[in-house]
Structures are given as structure tokens and as C-alpha cells.
Structure 1
Amino acid sequence: MSAQPVNPNLPPDHVTVFIDGVELAAPKNSMIIHAADKAGIPIPRFCYHDKLAIAANCRMCLVDTEVGGRAAPKPSPACATPVMDGLKVFTRNERALKSQRNVMEFLLANHPLDCPICDQGGECELQDVSMGYGRSVSRFAERKRVVPDEDIGPLVATEMTRCIQCTRCVRFTAEIAGTYELGGMYRGENLQIGTFDGKPLTTELSGNVIDVCPVGALTNKVFQFKARPWELTARESLGYHDALGSNLFLHVRRGDVLRTVPRDNEAVNECWLSDRDRYSHQGLYAEDRAQRPLVKDNGEWREASWDEALARAAKILRDNGGDNLGVLVHPATSNEEGALLARLAEALGSGNLDHRIGQHDLTDAAVAETFAMPVAEIDRADVVVIVGSNLRHELPLVHQRVRKAFTRGAKVHAINPVDFDFTFDLAGKRIVAPSQLAGALADEALREAAKAGHHVALIVGALAENGPHAAAIRAAAKAFAEATGAKLCRIPQGANAVGLARHGVLPSARDARAMLDDARGAYIVYGIEPGLDFADSESALRALGAAQVVAFSHYACRSTKAVADVILPIGLLPEIDATLTNLDGLSQAASAGGKLPGDTRAGWRVLRALGGELGAKGFEFTDLDGLRRGIAPRSVTPAAGRAPKAAGEGLELAVSTAIYRSDATVRRAPALQSHPLNLAPRAVLNPNDAAALGLADGAVAKFGAGAGTATLPVALSAKVAAGTVWIESGHGATAPLGAGRVQAGRA
């Protein structure tokens, strides 16, 4: 073979290959399957997945190769055979096809013939490939093997007799999720895929094993036996439970959302989806879903027509305009609804408008900002510093990006009040009480470690942003970024916090905390579950309970009914056309998938009708396109908020959001509530602090804060910083505590 390249005009890192007679340029060290895929030349495969390491264990991609006129002695797996200059590849000659058909026959030898009852039927890679490469008659006369199933949790259903040992699921949990929960057991024909300990999957990304499985061995337990794929219509939508805005498809039948699957977007979620976004659609159909307008007469609720409910709401707002009105907005509210709420507040003369309902310290007038380092670049960072965040629960797919950076050699450091479980090793960590987070960022050793990197990300999360020391931590983070060259990435506290800030859903007078501390005469509460969504639920319920409240609500829950005078039922994101702006500042559109239940209306329609009832300016449009044409960014610089209340004495509270209690819809998804990561409310203390208080593991203790008192079971963990009590928000039992310090003692 000549040492001269076949095509001397190619870049030095490319070679020339010929696949089925087509001349192609391919990067050196890439595989045959990469070149074929790029050229659109089909090669069958099962174990290969472009996001997973190459395993080459299914052998379905066998091809015939030839170099310098000499044929290879046997077929080669296209996924594991590197290209070389002058390589000739034959994917459809007799030798290649015979090899592929023989492999197909072996794969089907033990596979059960249960396609009519398999949930994967109609979208099964094995079905598709066997149509092209399978035999019409089986020559296998022996008894088929049977593999016992194991229960791996509430989200993924198993039928392991169908498994073809492609190991995609094993590689996913090892490489992407980082939990190493699945593996191969036994050998030869007895090989089985499963969990080694027989326990449920604990990864927050477990639903992705369904997507990577090429057969019906792993399927969606929530969707199981609900419908066939050809009965479903796909609607483009977005995840709305965190600020990433994962792209997804809603699979809908006759207006009911039956399944959610990822939609590829390399810049956002790649091809993955968190379990929170995948299974939350169950919450759309909760028993307490608000389906008809409700009005309260003499303390009793009754259904009303839209005209009557809107008239009642308009009267409340007319009677309580100006500074007497507060407008509180959930941070997952869409851009269109947010823009109308800003118009409505302006028309009513109120500057008391805010979406920052979960934050205690806004003395620096902070608003959500876009990441200085785009999400797609985080996996190429060489140093990552995480401050005040249980990132794995807060942004599961950003956590996965950090893991990818770690596997490429990045050094990851963490400053937290709790030594949270990450799926990567930490090069350094400081576990300190919440009040010391800002000071830890001034650590010279940490700064030197960051300066050693060329691509450094500083990620600041909810524990920092929502606590009583948030302003100091934000200032310290900014100083750290300026001193080290790190890119500051403050996680927006809400799925559309960036979009709402851009559209002026911010106060020119009182912020959320101020308008609840100094109760207003009336409030608009938009998309909020009052008992669980506020930073300080006790003070919020007191203020709302003493005022007149117009609630635009998805759920007619107990806390909403306790404080509202009118409930106007509005659609959730999967049921409406809307846009959200994610943490990269990317505005993304969602299409209506599910039908609106009962007499529910899209929020923008209800706001338009209410604006018309009030005769407000800016509500003259007739459709969504007209609304969008009139929307423009509104620049509002909020005033500095009040300083949090004095700390007092006792243990410091570290409050993180429970992964499956983050919003009203997630809290109503039964499968997610059954997940192992969804723990019961508890207070976790450092063993030394517990001993000083005379509290044992499993004891029940009373925790008193300025906001209220909670009685919680105690758990002990050395992972909690000294002087700190760690609780998770989103539970009714922990809601009274707010933030700051607590006095603890036996119940």
C-alpha cells in the first residue's frame, strides 16, 4: 500500500474512505459507523449509541472491509473499526448481509414473540431491523430461555426476557447518570441485565434507559398499556420545572397527555430528559385541578360563570388599586402571561408586582440573569465551582454536564452547608453553615485553583440565592469571578425567571416580601400554591388571609381556597401555547398538547378578558399573535429590598427544594412521589449538634423559627455542617420554618 494519501487535498487530520463505492472524508480515529451515518448510509445496529461509549457487543453492524486490494479475513463491526486512508467498506454485499442476517437470527433465537402485548411495539428497533434482516421462519427449535423480572422502581417497567444484552442501559447509568446501578450478571447464555442489589433505580435520570433500550425490555411504567404509538400525536413543548427549559414532545391521544419524551437539542438538553420533566404530566389530572370559576360567598365556595367570576375579580381590583394592590406571580409563568400581568398592574396603578416569591434577601435588588457560560460549554470547562446548590436535584441535566466535564478531567469544587451527593468526585469542598458561604468564596486556595483553569464556571444555586445571606453571597460570587476570570452562572429561581425579569414582572415599589410583610388590601396571586410556594409561607398566608384575593390558579387546593375570594382556573404549560426564556436567555416556544380541563382557559385569555372588564389599556388584541406583536422587553430596575430579620440564636437553617416537591404539578405526580429520592419531611442535623441538644436519630423534635414552628423527625448525618439544620422545602410540614435560625428541642 502506498504511503501517499488517496486525496492529498484533505486536511491532515482526515482520511479518505469508500463506503459502498461512495468516496468520503472522515476524521482520523473515527469509526466506520460515524462516516456512514454522516453520509446517510444505513448500517443496522443495536448496542451503538452516539452518546455512549462503544461496546461492540451486538455485532449487528458487521460490514465487509478491504484495504489495498486485500479483504479482511472476517467481517468487522462498523462501530468499533477505525477508518484508515483508502479503506473500502461494503455494507450491502453478500458477505456483509449474510453476517448481519446471522446475527439477527441469533438475537431472535431467545426473544419472546410477544409483540402484540409489548409496549414498545411500533417503535421497537428490533422489530424494524428484523423486518429487513430477519428470516421468515425460525430454525431455533430449542426451548427459549426466560429471565425473571425485578422491580426497579415506579418509573421504569421491566420485561427482561426481551433483553438482547446491548448494554445501552448499563452504559447510560455508568457514563451519563453516574450511578452505576445496572450491570451484567452471570455469563454466556445466562447473562442478565439488572441491579446488583435488587433495589429501585435512584438516579434522577432513570427514564432515559427507556429511550436507549432498543427492545421492549425497559418501558415506561406510567405509560404502560395506555396506548399504541400510532395512536399518539406529538406536540413540541418544554420542561417547566427548572430553568433549563428542556425540549420535549408531549404524546397526546384525544387531548390527554399520556407520555413525555425528549426532543433533541444539543444546546439545551442534548437527547436526555430528567424524570421530573418526563413524568410530571401525571399532575395535570390531579383531583383538585381547578376546572371551573369559583367565587366565595359568606365563606362558602360555589361554581360561577366566567362572566360572574370576572366581574367579581374586576370589582375587587377596582376597589383596591394603586398601592393597596399586590401582584404575586409564580416564576414559571410564561412570557405572554407575564407581559399582561405587568400591563394590568400598570393599568391599576400598582408598582407592587413581583415573581421572586421564594427569595428572602433582595437587599441588592437582584434579578435572574443568564449564565455567563452557556450550558452547552459547561461540559468543556476545566474547573467548576458549585456554591450553595444541590445541583443534582436542582438542575439534573446541568449536573450531568458537570459530570461530563469531570470525566474529561475537570476539577470540581463545592461550597455547601451540606455535603450533597454528586456523581463526580470533588477536588475540594468546604462544608460550612449558610452564613459562611460568602466568606468561603474568599478562600485563597480555591481562588488559586480557579485561576489555574482556562475555562472556569462558577455555579450559584438555590441554597445561596434564596437564603437570608443571599446578597452577601452574590457579591462574593461576583468578586470571585472578577478575581479568577470564572464565568458567573447564577441559577434562575424559576423556570421563566429570566423571561419575567425581561418583561417587567418586577416591582417599582414593594417586592414580594415587602407586600406580604405590610399586608395590602387585595392581591392577585398568579399560578401559586400559597401554602408551599412562598419563601415565608406563614407570613404569606396571614397577609393573604386578611385581604381580598383574586387567584389565577391551576389547582383549587386547600391553601388557595383558604385565602382566595375568586378562583379563575388557568391552563398549565402543556395545555397552552406559550414561550419561556431559559437560563441561557433562549426564548423557546411550547405548543398546546393536552386539552384544557372543564371550563379552564389559557391564562392570557383570562387576563385579556379581565383587562377588558376593567377597560385597561393594552388589552385590545384578539388572538395570541396579536398579543405577541405587542410585547416588548420592559426595563424595570427594582428597588433594594428590606434586610432579612435579625438572625437571633439557635441553629442555622439550610433549606433546599425537594427534587419532587418543587412545584404544584410535580407534587401531584404519583409516580414521582413514589420515587426513592422523594424523602419524607425531616430535619437533618450534624451528630455533634444533635448530641448537644439531646436528640437521637429517629427522634421527633420541635423546631421554632420567627416564622413558625414545625415538628419533624430527626436524622443525623456528618454531611451537614456544624451548627446547621438541613430541611427540604415543598412539604407542608417544613413550610412554617422559612429561613434563618431555629431553636430545636424535644417535641
Structure 2
Amino acid sequence: MSAQPTNNAPDLVSIEIDGKPVQIRKNAMIIEAADTVGITIPRFCYHRKLPIAANCRMCMVEVEMGGRPVPKGLPACATPVTDGMKVQTRSKLALQYQRDVMEFLLINHPLDCPVCDQGGECELQDVALGFGRSVSRFTERKRTVADENIGPLVATEMTRCIHCTRCVRFTSEIAGSYELGGMGRTEDLLIGTYIGKTVETELSGNIIDLCPVGALTDKVFQFKARAWELIARPSIGYHDALGSNLWLHTRRGEVLRTVPRDNEAVNECWLSDRDRYSHQGLTAADRAIAPQVKRDGQWQETSWEDALSFVGEALKKSPGSELGVLVHPATSNEEGDLLMRLARGLGSAHVDHRLRQLDFADNAVATTFGTPVAQVDQLKAALLVGSDLRLELPLLNHRLHQAVKKGARVYAVNPVHFDFNYQLAGEAIAAPHELVGALLALAKAAVSAGASAPAPLADAINGATSDQGDSDAVAALKSGAAVVILGEAAVTHPQASWLRAIARFIADATGAGYNELPVGANAVGLARLGVVPGNGGLDAQAMLAQPRKSYLLYGVEPPHDFADGAATLKALRGAEQVVAFSAFASDALREVADVILPIALLPEIDATLVNVDGLAQGVLAGSKAPGQARPGWKVLRALGGSLQLAGFEFDDIAGLRNGITDRAVVARDGMASRASAPAGLTRVATWPIYRSDAVLRRATALNAHPLNRAPAVRINANEAARLGLADGEQVRVGDASLLLRIDVAVPDGATWIEAAQDLTATLPPYGATITLSKA
């Protein structure tokens, strides 16, 4: 056998850094090679997730190529490796470069470390300790920069800015919003928003993590604690089904700050503002901190023993067939399983977590993604159906944005024009009653391209008309890795069964993956556990349309968390008993409930949630629940034990988890009836990004953000002219008086009224006919 060559793999090169041999891929930068072997090169502008800028020059190193030294230092972040290269990061010359750059950076930096929120975790402090001089040779006045207000989330102190441009590159390349930039040159260079506007991206908090100095800090956390006072607890986000990994920074059991925890398969190193700032809601004024019972129409705080006895008596007053159990879709696996045990023990089959779903014809539940999150940035094409992806799942949208930058083509079929941060290759906007028809046109194009329509859809598809844009979209989906994403505006649509069936057919016909966005942080987990109606049980909508004598509400806040808030309040007001397990005692809940049992929220409990990829993520309690609030699973165990029900004999959470079993949910082939043209406008109801659950609705900084728009009725100019209405007028919708806004994003025949606002929560649901009149 002949000797084999020992050359490197074709895509690897061999270099030497500080005498250490290193193999790394071609075209990698020196700084990447150094990081792989644990050799630290100081840097400020470089970040592994951002485009290279090479403008701080802190990473200067001495390089030898081809056996000859390069006559000047080179920036390690912007110098590609070549085979045989030798790099010195700590030579006399390299250290001189680095110390000189450090001196220049400190010339204008203010000496305010004692009052800077970045103190103790500041990259500039760390690098200055190793490379800075103890005395400055600079005697002129330091420059100062006037701050600008960029919103309620990020605080600015731009005199500290060292012009690394990490924030600029993040907003342009990652957030896709191009909101920050540099103005001027040399020491007159200013980083800002050009026109003094608020930074509106839903990922804005990441510029705080990226800033290597204290120029950008957390406005909510400002001046509350020093870094060394905080304890970091691992946790996950619970406001969408991505399950972003994060750290809770706590002091004496209180969450003061939230920062991202790296997980490349889930959230990379980023965190949405929704997960970062929601901790404000944990300490809301109406937080339930003690059991409360309503006796003779008056609320009174009581002991846990009395409250549980009251609940037991209340639940026994009506037969199990008259008990409806409504569960929030962010409820943990442990709590969800115990709720099923409780419902079975009480003889009720009426259990559901699909509170915002209107169409149950196919008995659909949340499922795991066909195309994993980590693969989305490698797609060649995507079809969004009823999805404002940027606000529904911000970090999934970020990955799709990265795919678009690599050439992916994205098409959308939506009830209104949503504001994406990338260019769509094609878009169809149709009022809710026409949305199914718009998607059928794409299905018709798929059939024309050779696919066979399934029997239940054949007549509808054959009756549709497609155009060249539909054919282009189908061709793009067939051209490579692709996905069809069914968003919340489709899942909560009154004809969701049609949209789901057509979207699945398009995905199958083109070979694309099928990703349906779960409505709720643990909707996938609750679906696996079968937290849905049993045989003969009523779904969430039917429980309200056919009111029960008793209701058990778990983690829900009526009317905001329901598809039809008015029907919810009507059913609860008419019930004989309403038992509420809740972290908050809102006015609406106090009106309809007979007892409120205070339960802890996810950051305060041991729990398991399942994300969109089917990944079960367990977390430990990171902070203390206030007052007498207790983890929900403990309250349910005590209640089930007092009622002597089967399945509540365990002693701890490990015993509880040992008894949890998955329960298959059987889907149906049914589809809702097709909508006819309405006599008036049909409502588009979307949930605002910062109003989708009770915690977010109490996070004051998020609710002050421009993405959280004031409640309004939005119609286009044509509809306004037809109705004789003008922008800025007050209009009446049922009993509510709302501001009218002319919005080009809304199609003819529709009015866009966002849900979950105090003024809109009880309006007719998504797809209902809306009548407008002057207030």
C-alpha cells in the first residue's frame, strides 16, 4: 500500500499563533483562529455574529507570511489566514500596537466608572486593565456628546461611545431596521438615529449586550444594582413558543434584569425585547399575593386551607359535565398534566388550552416544526400564510431575514400588509373572508405544476384562478430548501381549518417543510399531554357558547386572553362558580371569580416547556414568588389531595414527572364552512407583540414602546371615503369609542382592530362583521 499524503483537508489551512499550531477553515480571520485555541486577542469592534468593520484597531498583531514578516501590524479581525502564516499576539511590537490604541481610546472616555451601569462587566475596563496606562498624557479637554432619547428600553450616554459601530451593524444586518448610523468624522463622529427618533426594532435590547462600554445600557435596570450584586439563574422565555434561553439576574430573589443565554439551535446569542423586559410585569400592583374568597359579594383575604376548602366545596356543587376548565397555553407540562388529572377526577371532559382558536372543525393542536429553527437561515424560499412573523416570533423572523440576505425569496398571503424587515418577492393581501380564496390560488398554481389536489380540496382548488405571481411562488418553493409558515393570523382565523389544509397541501406539493406557529409558549407541550377535550368534551369556544355552571380558569385573564372576550365575560358572569388560579387579580377577574388562588409565574417555579422544535426545556425557579403565591403544581396537588382524587399521591416534582404520560390528540378531517361576502367590514384581529399575555400587559416599558400602538380602528382611504369618515375621528364600534386611522396596509372590505387592548378585548372576534359610525 502506498503512503498517503498528509496535506490538510482542502478547506483547511495550517497556521501558527504564538507558537501553537492551528488548523482552521480557509478565509477565516486570525481572530477566529485564535479564539478556537483559547488565545485571547483584545477587541472592541469585532463580534462573531456581525459583519467585520475593523475600525477599533485594538486587535493589531504581528504577522509573518511566506517566511517574511509583514512590515506593519495587521488587524486580526480583518486579516484572512493563509497556509503557513505565523502570528504573534503578545510580541513586543504587537503589545505596543495594542497599548497605543488603548491610549487613544481612553483620551476622550469619561472617568465615570463608579456611576456607570456597565461597571464591573465592561469590556473597556477589562482591556484597559491589561493594556492601559496608569496616567494619561492627554491634557486637553475631553469631548462631550449630547444624548438622545431612543425609547423606553435603551438608555444612552454617548460621551462614553468609542465608535466600535457594533450597534450600527446590529440594527442594519441583524435587526434589518437601519435605525442607527454614524454622522461626522474623526472625533466629531457621532452614533445616533439621524433624526432623533426612537429605536423601534423588536430586538433593540441586544445593542446593550453588544456595546463594549457604557454608552448603551438597560433603561429599565438603570441604577438599580451593580453587576457583582446579582445572581444569574438560567431560565427560558415564556412569551412565545421558541423558548429562548436566558439568564435571570436576581438580587434577594427579585428579577432585576434579563440577558440572553447562548444556544445556537434556539436563539443563538440574541433575545427579543419581549423576553428581555417582561420581568417588569412580575411586580405589578395587582399581583395576587394571598388567597382571596368572595363571600356575600365582598372579597376577603384568607388562608390557603380555607381557600382550598372553599374551592373543593364549589367544585362539588355541580356535576363534572357542568365544569369547564380553561387553561392558558403557556402553562407548564407539570401543571397541565395535573389539570387533566383533576378534570378526570371530577368527571369533566371539558378541558382546553386553545383559547384564541375560533375554528375547531379539524380539532387541530400545535405541532412541532417540519423545518427546525436552526435550518431556517439556510432556506431558499418561504411562504408566510397569515403571519406577522416579525412580531409573532421575532428570533425566527431574524433567521428568515438572514436567509433573505443570502438570496432566499419570501412570499406572503396575509389579511393585511405587515411590516417586514426584508423585501418580499410577492404578496397577496386579502380581507379575512377572502383569505382562503387567495391561498387557493397558490394551490391552483401547484396543481397546474403537476401536483394532485386532495379530494376534500379538489373542487375548491379547481374553482380558483391563479396568475403568474402564484406560479412564481410555487416554482420558488420547489427550487430548493423551502418552508410554508402558518402564522397566528391564520391559526386564529375563523376558517383556520381551510387555511391549514391548503397550506399543508402546498407544502407537500412543493416538497417544502410545514411550520405552524403555536399560539402560546407551551402549546406544543400541552398538545402532547392531551390538554384538550376528552370524549364528548367541549372545546374552548363551545364551553363559552354553551355556558357551564362551573369554570376553572388556570393562568388566564378574561377577556384579554380569549378570541371572543364578550362571550367569555357573558359565560363567566352567568356561571354559578368560577375558580381562578391566577398570578394577577385584575378587576375583570375579581368581577367574575368566586375565589382567586395566587400562583407563581414561570421565572418563580420549577417547570418544563416544549418549544417549536419539540425540545423539552426544564428550568428551576430563578426568583421568589411574592407573598403567599405558590407554584401551581403544588396548589393543584394540595387541591387534588384534599378532594381525595387519584393521581395526587406524589411527594415532590420528581414524583409528579414520573407519572406524566403523553396522550395522543386525534385530528379530524372536517373543515369549517366557507365564508360568504359580508354586508360590512370584516375584522382583522391580531394580538400586539407586547399585549399577548398578562405579564406583558403589565410590563410598563414595553407598553410605552411604539410597537405597542394605541387602540384604533384602521381602514384604508377608500373605505373611509365610502363611510364618510376622516383620519383622527372618533368612531363607535359596538359600545366602544375608538380613534380612526387611515392605513394603506388594510385591504378593501376589512378593518384592522388589534386585540387584547382594554378598549378592544370585548369587541366582536376576528372575522366578524363590524359596523362603524361616528362617535
TM-score normalized by structure 1?
0.97
Q: 2:521·2:609 contact (CA, 8 Å) conserved in 1?
A: yes
Partner of 1:259: 257
Alignment partner for residue 579 of structure 1, among 594, 600, 608?
608
Alignment partner for residue 474 of structure 2, among 440, 448, 464?
448
Partner of 2:765: 738
Partner of 1:140: 138
Instruction: Check 1:561–1:495 CA distance in 2 against 1; reply closer, same or farther (3 A cut).
Output: same
In structure 1, C-alpha distance between the alignment counterparts of 2:716 and 2:645, rounded to whole Å = 55
Q: How many correspondences in the alignment?
A: 737
Alignment partner for residue 690 of structure 1, among 720, 729, 741?
720
Q: Secondary structure at the match of 1:653?
A: strand
Structure 1 segments of 4+ aligned residues over 4 angstroms from their partners: 638-648
Residue 597 of structure 2 is aligned to residue 568 of structure 1? yes
Query: C-alpha displacement at 1:718, in angstroms?
Result: 1.9
Partner of 1:107: 105
Aligned ranges 1:330-409 → 2 under 5 Å = 330-409=328-407
In structure 2, C-alpha distance between the alignment counterparts of 1:731 and 1:426, rounded to whole Å = 30
In structure 1, C-alpha distance between the alignment counterparts of 2:669 and 2:311, rounded to whole Å = 31
Q: Secondary structure at the match of 1:65?
A: strand
Aligned ranges 1:99-178 → 2 under 5 Å = 99-178=97-176
Listed as ranges, the gaps of 5+ residues in structure 1 are: 1-6
Residue 616 of structure 2 is aligned to residue 616 of structure 1? no
Alignment partner for residue 602 of structure 1, among 631, 634, 638?
631
In structure 2, C-alpha distance between the alignment counterparts of 1:372 and 1:462, rounded to whole Å = 17
In structure 2, C-alpha distance between the alignment counterparts of 1:642 and 1:566, rounded to whole Å = 39
In structure 2, C-alpha distance between the alignment counterparts of 1:423 and 1:43, rounded to whole Å = 34
Listed as ranges, the gaps of 5+ residues in structure 2 are: 446-470
Residue 750 of structure 2 is aligned to residue 711 of structure 1? no
Q: 2:477·2:511 contact (CA, 8 Å) conserved in 1?
A: yes
Q: 2:350·2:539 contact (CA, 8 Å) conserved in 1?
A: yes
Q: 1:361·1:644 contact (CA, 8 Å) conserved in 2?
A: no
Q: 1:236·1:590 contact (CA, 8 Å) conserved in 2?
A: yes
Query: C-alpha displacement at 1:596, in angstroms?
Result: 0.8
Query: C-alpha displacement at 1:69, in angstroms?
Result: 2.1
Residue 586 of structure 2 is aligned to residue 557 of structure 1? yes
Query: C-alpha displacement at 1:41, in angstroms?
Result: 0.9
Deviations 1:436-481 (A, max 9, x none): 2222223222553334421111111111110211111111111111
Aligned ranges 1:141-540 → 2 under 5 Å = 141-442=139-440, 443=442, 444=445, 445-508=471-534, 509-540=537-568
Partner of 2:731: 701
Q: Which amino acid aligns with 1:738?
A: P
Deviations 1:635-676 (A, max 9, x none): 243778995897653111111111111111001011011111
Q: Which amino acid aligns with 1:575?
A: E
Partner of 2:693: 663
Q: 1:507·1:636 contact (CA, 8 Å) conserved in 2?
A: no
Query: C-alpha displacement at 1:703, in angstroms?
Result: 2.5
Q: Please, which moves more after superposition, 686-695 or 113-122?
A: 686-695
Partner of 1:3: none
Q: Which amino acid aligns with 1:603?
A: G
Aligned ranges 1:78-97 → 2 under 5 Å = 78-97=76-95
Q: Secondary structure at the match of 2:751?
A: strand
Q: 1:361·1:641 contact (CA, 8 Å) conserved in 2?
A: no
In structure 1, C-alpha distance between the alignment counterparts of 2:250 and 2:744, rounded to whole Å = 47
In structure 2, C-alpha distance between the alignment counterparts of 1:257 and 1:431, rounded to whole Å = 42
Deviations 1:688-736 (A, max 9, x none): 11111111111121234xxxx4322111122211111111111021122
Deviations 1:516-539 (A, max 9, x none): 111111010000001211111111
Partner of 1:4: none
Q: Which amino acid aligns with 1:533?
A: D
Q: Which amino acid aligns with 1:31?
A: M
Query: C-alpha displacement at 1:119, in angstroms?
Result: 0.3
Q: Which amino acid aligns with 1:505?
A: V
Q: Which amino acid aligns with 2:774?
A: R
Instruction: Check 1:204–1:730 CA distance in 2 against 1; reply closer, same or farther (3 A cut).
Output: same
In structure 2, C-alpha distance between the alignment counterparts of 1:524 and 1:703, rounded to whole Å = 31
Deviations 1:305-343 (A, max 9, x none): 100100111111122232110000000001110010011
In structure 1, C-alpha distance between the alignment counterparts of 2:673 and 2:313, rounded to whole Å = 35
State the percentage of identical aligned residues. 60
Q: 2:478·2:512 contact (CA, 8 Å) conserved in 1?
A: no
Partner of 1:674: 704
Q: 2:42·2:59 contact (CA, 8 Å) conserved in 1?
A: yes
Instruction: Check 1:184–1:277 CA distance in 2 against 1; reply closer, same or farther (3 A cut).
Output: same
Query: C-alpha displacement at 1:572, in angstroms?
Result: 0.5
Q: Please, which moves more after superposition, 321-330 or 53-62?
A: 321-330
Q: Which amino acid aligns with 2:297?
A: G
Q: Secondary structure at the match of 2:239?
A: coil
Q: 1:447·1:480 contact (CA, 8 Å) conserved in 2?
A: no
Q: Which amino acid aligns with 1:284?
A: L
Query: C-alpha displacement at 1:373, in angstroms?
Result: 0.3
In structure 2, C-alpha distance between the alignment counterparts of 1:305 and 1:637, rounded to whole Å = 42
Instruction: Check 1:638–1:557 CA distance in 2 against 1; reply closer, same or farther (3 A cut).
Output: farther
Q: Please, which moves more after superposition, 70-79 or 132-141?
A: 132-141
RMSD, matched Cα: 1.4
Residue 656 of structure 2 is aligned to residue 627 of structure 1? yes
Q: Which amino acid aligns with 1:604?
A: W
In structure 1, C-alpha distance between the alignment counterparts of 2:495 and 2:713, rounded to whole Å = 21
Query: C-alpha displacement at 1:380, in angstroms?
Result: 0.6
Q: Which amino acid aligns with 2:404?
A: F
Q: Which amino acid aligns with 1:545?
A: R
Q: 1:362·1:640 contact (CA, 8 Å) conserved in 2?
A: no
Instruction: Check 1:642–1:733 CA distance in 2 against 1; reply closer, same or farther (3 A cut).
Output: farther
Q: Secondary structure at the match of 1:267?
A: coil
In structure 1, C-alpha distance between the alignment counterparts of 2:727 and 2:280, rounded to whole Å = 35
Deviations 1:571-609 (A, max 9, x none): 001111111101111111222122110110000000000
Q: Secondary structure at the match of 1:242?
A: coil
Query: C-alpha displacement at 1:560, in angstroms?
Result: 0.7
In structure 1, C-alpha distance between the alignment counterparts of 2:28 and 2:320, rounded to whole Å = 66
Aligned ranges 1:712-731 → 2 under 5 Å = 712-731=738-757
Q: Secondary structure at the match of 2:560?
A: helix
In structure 2, C-alpha distance between the alignment counterparts of 1:448 and 1:312, rounded to whole Å = 59
Q: Secondary structure at the match of 1:625?
A: helix
Instruction: Check 1:451–1:168 CA distance in 2 against 1; reply closer, same or farther (3 A cut).
Output: closer
Instruction: Check 1:414–1:645 CA distance in 2 against 1; reply closer, same or farther (3 A cut).
Output: closer
Deviations 1:75-122 (A, max 9, x none): 000000000011000001101011001111111111111111110000
Q: Please, which moves more after superposition, 627-636 or 257-266?
A: 627-636
Q: Secondary structure at the match of 1:728?
A: coil
Q: 1:507·1:639 contact (CA, 8 Å) conserved in 2?
A: no
In structure 2, C-alpha distance between the alignment counterparts of 1:603 and 1:271, rounded to whole Å = 31
